[in-house]
Amino acid sequence: MARISGVNLPKGKRIEVALTYVYGIGRSLSRQVLNDLKIDLDTKSEDLSPAQEQKIREAVAKLTVEGDLKRQSSGNIKRLQEIGTYRGFRHRRRLPVRGQRTKTNARTKRGKRVTMGSGKIKEAKK
């Protein structure tokens, strides 16, 4: 089992897909790295030779992935909050940041709202 940037790559998957299990690497970046290293995209992750694994480790080590990338993005959000930007305010209140509407939709961000009802008193059952 190949281990790259602290992530165990799944067995039985093509290396192009298996690399996407590393946070910060998507399909296009995975393809780019493998093409630069001249590794076939259809190779299964368990079929990699130790030399190929080492090449991939070295290539991924040059990228910002996993903990460093998470730390960088959370630092960017904290900076926006500290300087008092609108985006930082939206992050702080856990609301949509990129201009989406919140009157309807945005349920995952706002949570499910409970309606009050019409104000009618229900009949008592006899």
Is pLDDT of 111 > 90?
A: no
* Residue ranges per structural domain of the chain: 3-63, 67-99
CB 81 within 8 A of CB 93: no
Alpha-carbon distance 16 to 118, whole Å? 56
Architecture in CATH for domain 3-63: Orthogonal Bundle (1.10)
For residue 106, pLDDT over 70 is answered with yes
Which structure tokens are listed for 91? 């992050």
- What number is the average pLDDT over the span 88-93? 94
Q: Which fold would CATH assign to domain 67-99?
A: 30s ribosomal protein s13; domain 2 (4.10.910)
Asked which of 34-38, 60-64, 67-71, 118-122 is least confident by mean pLDDT, the reply is 118-122
Q: Give all strands (DSSP E) within the chain, no chain letters.
A: 3-4, 7-8
The H or E element that residue 92 is part of is: helix 86-92
